[in-house]
Amino acid sequence: MQAYRYVHFIAELKMLSVTMRIAARRCFFTGPTSSALRSAVRPVRSRIATMTIQLRYLSSAEKVFGLTEDVMNMPGLPPIPIPPEPSMSIEELAEAGHSVLNELGLVSWWKPSGYFRMALEAMHNHLDLPWWTTIMCATMCLRLAMVFVPIMSQKLVAKQSMYKKELDEFRERIMDAKKEGNNLLQQQVFLEQRDFLKSKDIRLGRQFLIILANGGVFATQFFAIRRMVDVNFPGWSAGGALWFTDLTVPDPYYALPLISAVTMGIVARVGIEMGTSTDQMGPGMRLGMLYGLPLFIFVISSRFASVCFLGIYLVR
């Protein structure tokens, strides 16, 4: 009996650590089975029992997992979900020729600038044009669609130039009546001028419509392009030409603002966009339109992105 206990003890002793082995041997050889030996052997038996249960569980689990086909063929089970494909980035969508206006929040159905942005992106994707060429072509198409505006402006300028002498006489008579303080005479001259303009089909209200139409076209293009610059539209950082390859930054040489200011001075002198030339203005207003306005435009536009000037030149 003692030999059987010794063999069984040696088998269980292999499961203990070094410290527990030494303590167990001392307890075994110093006398009969002591309380220290029982306390050392009992955890081993419980540990062996636990390991045996776990091994039996794994062996039985193999049979359970062997019923995969039967489980999959059970009715009423939902299909295995397929994970969605990873979405493309905005840069990858733009390179692939897809629209990214909606992703960047540039779609606006109630603003004209939203439709202009759609036209720009469509021309760039379908015609495979660089961005600076796309913007200039879109501006030319818009100007051709509104070609009647400069035609009306030139007709109005031609009529006013034809009757410049009579219009100057009315202006002088009105100024003399103001100096005299004769309001009755001033009203009479106004009525005569109105009848004269009506008889010659010169309507000064058309001048306001011409300015409003040109201002609307300019504002539509400017705000559409400016918003695309603010969101760093893909491709614009390398879509320029010549010295302004990056369309999202101002011109470092100030050449584009200078050209814009000079063209504005020429337009003001000729009177294409305003319906009247500077020759028909007063001295102070003429000086401001010829020199003050171009200088103001140069200072303000020097901070604009280079892409803004591609549409401004053709708008004028």
Domain assignment of residue 80, yes or no: no
Total domains present in the chain: 2
Domain assignment of residue 119, yes or no: yes
Domain assignment of residue 184, yes or no: no
Considering the domain architecture, whether residues 254 and 158 belong to the same structural domain is answered as yes
What single-letter DSSP state applies at residue 128?
-
Would you give per-residue pLDDT tens digits along the chain (316 residues)? 444 444 444 545 555 555 555 555 555 444 454 454 455 444 444 444 444 444 444 445 445 455 555 555 666 667 777 877 777 777 777 777 788 888 888 888 888 888 888 988 889 888 888 888 888 888 888 888 887 777 777 777 777 778 888 888 888 888 888 888 888 888 888 888 888 888 887 777 777 777 787 778 888 888 888 888 888 888 888 877 788 888 888 888 888 888 888 888 787 776 655 555 556 666 777 777 778 888 888 888 888 888 777 765 544 4
3-state secondary structure of 244: strand
Considering the domain architecture, whether residues 57 and 95 belong to the same structural domain is answered as no
Domain assignment of residue 295, yes or no: yes
Other CB atoms within a 10 A radius of the CB of residue 298 amount to 18
Considering the domain architecture, whether residues 243 and 270 belong to the same structural domain is answered as yes
Considering the domain architecture, whether residues 268 and 233 belong to the same structural domain is answered as yes
Closest CA to 269 of 288, 290, 284: 290
Considering the domain architecture, whether residues 6 and 142 belong to the same structural domain is answered as no
Considering the domain architecture, whether residues 130 and 268 belong to the same structural domain is answered as yes
Supply the pLDDT for residue 252: 84
Domain assignment of residue 78, yes or no: no
Domain assignment of residue 154, yes or no: yes
Domain assignment of residue 85, yes or no: no
Considering the domain architecture, whether residues 123 and 253 belong to the same structural domain is answered as yes
**Structural domain boundaries enclosing 255:** 90-163+200-315
Q: Which two tokens stand for residue 183?
A: 């309001």
Considering the domain architecture, whether residues 152 and 6 belong to the same structural domain is answered as no
Q: Give the CA distances from residue 214 to residues 65, 282, 315, 316, in Å, rounded to whole numbers and listed in that order.
A: 77, 23, 8, 8
Considering the domain architecture, whether residues 59 and 129 belong to the same structural domain is answered as no
Other CB atoms within a 10 A radius of the CB of residue 2 amount to 7
**What is the torsional sign of CA 116, 119, 125, 131?**
negative
**Could you say which of 71, 100, 124 is where a domain stops?**
71
Considering the domain architecture, whether residues 6 and 117 belong to the same structural domain is answered as no
3-state secondary structure of 131: helix
Q: What is the pTM of this model?
A: 0.58
**Could you say which of 36, 71, 106 is where a domain stops?**
71
**Could you say which of 23, 41, 71 is where a domain stops?**
71
Domain assignment of residue 170, yes or no: no
Backbone angles phi, psi at 19, to 5 degrees: -65, -45
Considering the domain architecture, whether residues 130 and 239 belong to the same structural domain is answered as yes
Considering the domain architecture, whether residues 57 and 97 belong to the same structural domain is answered as no
